[in-house]
Chains A and B, each alone.
Chain A
């Protein structure tokens, strides 16, 4: 039941909007905004499948797909589902979480510079994680245990602690976007100063381990990291999508939003909470993968059109960027780099290119 909007009366032309009415549901769909998530999803599946096949033991795309539906031979089955799949799945989930988190924060703050990177969530998570690596006690079994179990939890707590501080410091009968960004920049500086201090105190091996974690890496991820992340997304993604309509109105500023019947304070609180939780679980799983949350929503809004970063498309493109960057890092480059370096190197020039090419300046 789709029909292009009928133009009644002379000159009322609102093309590109398609009205959908099925039973009690009614809504508007825009071609580009509908197409982008579909294309992004297709790209994600393709990149993931290619990535699953690449490694010391290459497996063809066809075999990968056969394995995924349970028809591969046992060796391939083991390599794909036990060795490589966790890494890819964690990459996908981290990308989804970061892209979505960035889109939420940028829309809410009406500021394209706002993202978990700039707000200090990453810094807080990093400081906590590096603290565990450095103070967790030299090398050996204890450190291994802490690294496997304590590190994600510490990172999560660090991120949430910063989020609480941001709230406490930025809240004034609601959260003002600029104030939020400024407070975040301040806390971010504190967090990274703490990281530097810890690194200068640490011995060389811990420092090396911490540095790899700090750039964001998908190395040696297992299903243990994937499950909590997957559960968190299963809860937070629907909540974020349900907030989409309110976010569209919040963009007009607090006064107009309130005049249009949005409970501004409550909505803002939920948006920030969801965004921060997404960023924190992502960082806990893979380290602070830089630039995804900052760049992807801006890329998505330029591809989809419209006045704000599309939520679902930002999430999916985030996943494409992380998995794609990991694939690049593992295969094309002579040295296997942590994924965080590649996301920044690939993501930033792409945004710059879109900025130079596009006529619009910057959209939050």
Chain B
């Protein structure tokens, strides 16, 4: 894995460029080590879902990839440069990140929220360029939030609110996007709505996407690559069909389950039987 990073040109023809990589990262909150010696690569144009049981370190890993958490050892590399040594503003023009439950200040309108996505492109002098204006209008339109531009964010429903945040991430204009459980607290149809939106970002806008998800069936349906984690290490990684096996579900989730084919998308679908142990 490290060989690929040292000589990106060797395999350049065979596989896409690595955009974001975790190299032997060790992540801890104080004394509590959550992730240890983990390697992960996100290649250009990929759509990765990170799955795993509660507390496996998947959100922690995502925070480290988005430089919100500094590894105690190892490093995160963005486009070949250590992310910790790249100015945070520069990173923010390439890498966007939506935390799990982002806070919007009371009274803030959707238009203002989305406009804040332009922050890394602005300066004291250049606070609202024509570019910013166009990009924000476009982001609102693209996420179907243009009709809500003047609504306060706190007056939106959960699904609309998530759309507004994705709209902000879109306005940030980064070609890498990390999302931490963007479907939390949403009903099934709004979960689908948000994931369709993310899938379109990937397909139509060419964004490289990594998303932490709880729902394995939705992860298998939308992501092209699954990364399964347990106890802070990557247990399996590959296409949904390679990763979602009955054995893996038993090992990682302590779940006895049957894996059948999703009649709609043809991707693997988990039918739980019972909890093991």
Contacts and interface: CB of A to CB of B under 8 A. Distances in A.
A364 B172 contact: no
Interface string B100-122: 00111111110110011101101
Interface in B79-129: 88-93, 95-99, 102-109, 111-112, 115-117, 119-120, 122, 124-129
What are the nearest 4 A-B pairs in CB distance? A261-B92, A27-B127, A261-B89, A261-B120
A252 interface: yes
Given A10-B146, A13-B149, A19-B133, A361 B106 contact: yes
B103 A260 contact: no
Contacts of B105: 110, 251-252, 307-308, 363-364
Contacts, number: 123
A70 interface: no
A308 B172 CA distance: 22
A8 interface: yes
B163 interface: no
Given A10-B146, A25-B125, A110-B105, A259 B92 contact: yes
B68 interface: yes
A248 B115 CA distance: 11
Given A256-B103, A260-B92, A261-B91, A11 B66 contact: no
A263 interface: yes
Contacts of B254: none
A20 B99 CA distance: 32
A54 interface: no
Interface in A294-322: 301, 305-308
A260 B124 contact: no
A259 B66 contact: yes
Contacts of B111: 14, 17
B140 interface: yes
B8 to A, nearest CB: 26
11 contacts: A8-B134, A9-B137, A20-B128, A21-B130, A27-B128, A245-B119, A255-B68, A261-B93, A307-B106, A307-B112, A361-B106
A254 B89 CA distance: 14
B63 interface: yes
Nearest to A6: B133
B137 A261 contact: no
Given A13-B150, A255-B68, A261 B106 contact: no
